[in-house]
Amino acid sequence: MRTVSFNDRTVEILNSHVIRIYKKKNDTSLFGLNDIEPEKGENKLPSAELLPDGSICISENGRVLFSEKADMEGYGENDAKASEIAEKEGHRTNESCLSARTRINIALFGKDDKIYGLGDKAAFLNRRGYEYVSKNSDEPTQHNETYRSLYKSVNYILVNHEDIWYGVFYPSSYECFFDLGKRASDRIVIGSEKGEYDYFVFLGKNPGEITVAYYSLIGPSLFTTMKFLGYHQSRWSYTDEEAKELVRRHTEDGLPLDFIHFDIDYMDGYRVYTVDEKYVPDFAETCEGFKKQGVGVITIIDPAVKKDRGYKIYDDVKKMGGFATLKGEEYVNEVWPGDAVYPDFFKKEVREYFTKTAKDFMKKYNVTGIWGDMNEPASFRGPLPPDVEFEGDDRMIYHDEAHNLYAEYMSRCLSDAFKEENKRPTLITRAAFATTGRYTTSWNGDNQSLWDHLRASLPQVMTMNLCGFFMNGVDVGGFGNDTTKELLLRWLEADLFMPYLRNHSAVNTLHQEPYSFGEETYEIYKKFLKLRYEFIPYLYTLQWEAYKNGTPMFAPLFWYYPEDEETLEINDEVMIGDRVLHAPIVMQGERRRAVYFPEGRWIDYFSGKAYEGKNAYIIEMPLDSTGIFVKEGAVIPLLKGATSIEPEKIKEIYVYRALEKGSNSDFCIPFDLHVDDGESLDYEKGIYDTVRLSVVKGEVVAEKIKNDYNHLGIAFL
Ligand code: GLC
């Protein structure tokens, strides 16, 4: 490590990939960043230099890789008078970087620089020219690329200039702004009123090296169960009969299903961890019955607790002084149950209470997983004031600092409910901070049944993956508004390899279960669900690699081909690992589309037709088809015939080889398959197998290169 001080700023070069620049460090203790391993010897470290105009440059071998500008000249000002008039008509004046106390001013080197990152925004991959705000928000209206805050605050960006790549992380949970070359095209401005002048810079030759450096600070992210990769079906809210009918149809017809979700109406008056026996009678038996058929139950749980004397959870937590307060009095707002109060998850006693409550609830009702919602935290009677108090473990934390971390602390205690039983969490969250992927999977909230939202789902989940949130997805079919059969099918096709695959819809919208639109739609839906299940051993290994190395499961093309400029702004093609390229239809009425292939030869998974890379082709994709292409020679482990995921029952893995139709070439890109029990934490103790799959002289060869789980009896065909 090397530390250099320039006037009021300090540059800590922690190793050749991670640098911290600050005037005063943010207190990161609430989200605990990892220590960065210092590099041995200083000779390889980049250098920091102060220019006469006050700018700081970070260089390697004399080449500037990153630069912070000193002045804010030409940045613009708020026009207070214009805002006042506009507000009279109801226009919202956005708060912005313009008036923030802290402003970090990062140089953009060129007009074509690209800026990626910031988590779940419903935007394109390249977010240059927009401004976003990190403030977890419950936003059920229509999201689009100019929507400034969604549910998550992921203060990480990845920037590209020609062959230079760098990442920036702003480590503060206070509200902050990211002006991504919007007001001045030559800079990125990070602004915050309460956050300090303090940020990390990540250097590397390509996005891969930068992601690994960032991940070393915020990871590792949750490694969840194999079952979680199966299909989830949800709706606000299934009744008892609807749920049973759903599971019956799936199991009788061999239509894959691993989880059914119960939304808020299963609760007694929206009191968390209770069950309305009228709405879902004999819930424990129902869940047990589903489980026997391979279908796990996930119940929604919101953080806020109904203010209701006599309701055990309210009384217990009240007794321990475990709710947020304002000026010392219990703070009350409104969520589904009416008057509601907010547990102080920042306090150990409260976390332990909810860990136990969740554990007991899941045991009592045979529930497999928890879906954490409304944890921004949401509030129907206006936002929580900034000075709402959380007592915390060892200091008072006010809402303005706690807000973006509330979901993280809720997820922490829920994930313990699984871990204490040597189980991997089956846990989902809506809100998150940059570090929350360590505890839970996530989805991106209330989208709508719109083609725009289908299109946005790909860059959204790719971006979440770039930010270290691998197990992420959106509501397939769209949550709000009514879907159509074409939209539903194209949505399933497009999101087929999304790490978290759930169809979910809002109350009072058209039903969108696979069988809701007649026979033709049903058959196509079923065909694609089966295809998803074929790929589960492959996806599971990708999840393992993501957890171990920070490699995205659902990546933009540039992650693998950063030198190919064509890939830098492809929003509608996705790399699933290093060998599968998915190019779905995302436009209404389209039956063919242009597909760009990066270098190499690519084989159509369905027809065996070969395409030469560095070219675009128009490819036919009727309604029952999507574009799946595999790098020539690559092998992929497939599971045949499964309709729910039970790892111990997997006895055969079929090895697919990407070869041009009619070819019998022996060329092979091997694959290291991860095998373990799929649900316990034993992998942390190294109990897993790695099987290298390759092809020699036309024969599949499966070689165990690690054999600590010793799962016998899988045949590789
Ligand atoms: C929120 C969630 C949505 C859920 C609804 C009712 O809007 O985002 O998924 O269905 O609340 O619980």
Encode 214-281 in three state secondary structure: HHHHHCCCCCCCCHHHCEEECCCCCCHHHHHHHHHHHHHHCCCCCEEEECHHHCECCECCCCCCCCCC
pLDDT at 493 over 70: yes
Residue 55 tokens read as 């700018």
Q: How far apart are CA 88 and CA 101, in angstroms?
A: 27
Residue 383 tokens read as 């936002």
Q: Which amino acid is at 141?
A: T
Per-residue confidence at 657, pLDDT binned at 50, 70, 90?
Answer: very high
Name the more confident of 434 and 183: 434
Please write the tens of the pLDDT for every residue from 442-487. 999 999 999 999 999 999 999 999 999 999 999 999 999 999 999 9
* Ligand 1 close to Cβ of residue 265 (< 6 A): no
Residue 39 tokens read as 């590099």
Question: For the chain, how big is the Rg over CA atoms in Å?
Answer: 25
Residue 624 tokens read as 């029952």
Q: How many CB atoms lie within 10 A of CB 239?
A: 14
Distances (CA, A) of 609 to 233, 322, 621, 699: 34, 62, 14, 22
Contacts of 392 (CB under 8 A, 6+ apart): 344, 346, 347
pLDDT at 210 over 80: yes
Q: How far apart are CA 273 and CA 655, in angstroms?
A: 44
Which one of 120, 263, 298 would you pick to mutate in the ligand 1 pocket, going by the greatest count of ligand atoms within 8 A of its CB?
263
Q: Which amino acid is at 345?
A: F
Identify the pLDDT of residue 69: 87
| Beta sheet of 305-306, edge-to-edge order | 305-306, 338-341, 332-335
Identify the pLDDT of residue 37: 83
pLDDT at 717 over 70: yes
Identify the pLDDT of residue 84: 75
Please write the tens of the pLDDT for every residue from 533-545. 999 999 999 999 9
Q: How far is the CA of 254 from the centre of ligand 1 (A)?
A: 29
**Considering only 40-49, 72-81, 392-401, 685-694, which range has the smallest mean pLDDT?**
72-81
- Number of residues assigned to the chain: 717
Per residue in 362-371, is it b (16+ CB within 10 Å) or e — as a string?
Answer: beebbbbbbb
pLDDT at 651 over 70: yes
Name the more confident of 53 and 415: 415
Per-residue confidence at 716, pLDDT binned at 50, 70, 90?
Answer: confident
| Beta sheet of 715-716, edge-to-edge order | 635-638, 652-657, 715-716
Per-residue confidence at 39, pLDDT binned at 50, 70, 90?
Answer: confident
405: closest CA among 649, 134, 688, 112?
Answer: 134
127: closest CA among 142, 147, 143?
Answer: 147
Average pLDDT over residues 405-419: 98
Q: How far apart are CA 164 and CA 109, in angstroms?
A: 10
pLDDT at 224 over 80: yes
Sign of the Cα torsion 532, 533, 538, 544 reads: positive
Identify the pLDDT of residue 377: 98
Which one of 138, 235, 271, 479 would you pick to mutate in the ligand 1 pocket, going by the greatest count of ligand atoms within 8 A of its CB?
479
Identify the pLDDT of residue 92: 63
Q: How far is the CA of 379 from the centre of ligand 1 (A)?
A: 13
**Considering only 15-19, 55-59, 97-101, 202-206, which range has the smallest mean pLDDT?**
97-101
Identify the pLDDT of residue 42: 63
Per-residue confidence at 43, pLDDT binned at 50, 70, 90?
Answer: low
127: closest CA among 576, 587, 453, 569?
Answer: 569
Which alpha helices (H) appear in 535-688, and where do they start and end? Answer: 536-549, 557-560
Instruction: Give the mean pLDDT of the chain.
Output: 95
Identify the pLDDT of residue 41: 66
229: closest CA among 261, 262, 259?
Answer: 259
* Ligand 1 close to Cβ of residue 12 (< 6 A): no
Please write the tens of the pLDDT for every residue from 120-146. 999 999 999 999 999 999 988 889 999
- Catalytic site residue 138? no
Identify the pLDDT of residue 666: 87
Q: How far apart are CA 291 and CA 273, in angstroms?
A: 20
Per-residue confidence at 99, pLDDT binned at 50, 70, 90?
Answer: confident
Identify the pLDDT of residue 1: 86
**Given 131, 446, 604, 689, which residue is catalytic?**
446
* Ligand 1 close to Cβ of residue 376 (< 6 A): no
CA of residue 385 relative to chain centroid, distance: 28
Q: Which residue, judged by its Cα, is nearest atom 5 of ligand 1?
A: 236
- Catalytic site residue 373? yes
Distances (CA, A) of 384 to 133, 314, 320: 17, 19, 22
* Ligand 1 close to Cβ of residue 532 (< 6 A): no
Strand 627-631 and strand 601-604: pairing? antiparallel
Identify the pLDDT of residue 335: 98
Contacts of 459 (CB under 8 A, 6+ apart): 123, 124, 125, 556, 571
Residue 141 tokens read as 């209206």
- Catalytic site residue 265? no
Encode 327-363 in three state secondary structure: CCEECEEEECCEEEECECCCCHHHHHHHHHHHHHHHH
pLDDT at 93 over 70: no
Among the atoms of ligand 1, which is closest to the Cα of residue 475? 9
* Ligand 1 close to Cβ of residue 236 (< 6 A): yes
Q: Give Dmax over CA atoms of the chain in angstroms.
A: 77
Beta bridge partners of 152: 432
Counting other chains too, the contacts that 281-284 makes at CB distance below 8 Å and 24 or more residues apart are 281/240, 283/365, 284/364, 284/365, 284/366
Identify the pLDDT of residue 441: 98
Name the more confident of 41 and 233: 233
Residue 594 exposed, middle or buried by CB count within 10 Å (0-12, 13-18, 19+) = exposed
Per-residue confidence at 23, pLDDT binned at 50, 70, 90?
Answer: very high
Average pLDDT over residues 569-580: 98
pLDDT at 81 over 80: no
Q: How far apart are CA 496 and CA 602, in angstroms?
A: 19
Q: How far apart are CA 499 and CA 229, in angstroms?
A: 6
pLDDT at 168 over 70: yes
Strand 18-22 and strand 2-6: pairing? unpaired
Residue 220 tokens read as 């590792």
* Ligand 1 close to Cβ of residue 150 (< 6 A): no
Place of tokens 């959870």: 313
Residue 243 tokens read as 């749920």
**pTM of the complete model:** 0.97
Q: How far apart are CA 657 and CA 700, in angstroms?
A: 9
Q: How far is the CA of 264 from the centre of ligand 1 (A)?
A: 8
Strand 501-503 and strand 231-233: pairing? parallel
485: closest CA among 459, 511, 521, 461?
Answer: 521
Identify the pLDDT of residue 488: 98
Q: What is the DSSP letter of 669?
A: B
Identify the pLDDT of residue 650: 93
Contact 305, 313 (CB under 8 A): yes
pLDDT at 70 over 90: no
Identify the pLDDT of residue 7: 86
Residue 138 tokens read as 């419950």
Q: How far is the CA of 401 from the centre of ligand 1 (A)?
A: 25
Average pLDDT over residues 200-205: 97
Residue 456 tokens read as 């946005």
Per-residue confidence at 73, pLDDT binned at 50, 70, 90?
Answer: confident
Kindly write down the DSSP assignment for every residue of 631-652, as one continuous string.
Answer: ETTBEEEE--S-SS--GGG--E
Per residue in 26-51, is it b (16+ CB within 10 Å) or e — as a string?
Answer: beeebbebeebeebeeeeebbebebe
Q: How far apart are CA 465 and CA 485, in angstroms?
A: 29
The HSE-up count of residue 288 (CA atoms within 13 Å, CB side) is 8
Which one of 136, 232, 236 would you pick to mutate in the ligand 1 pocket, going by the greatest count of ligand atoms within 8 A of its CB?
236
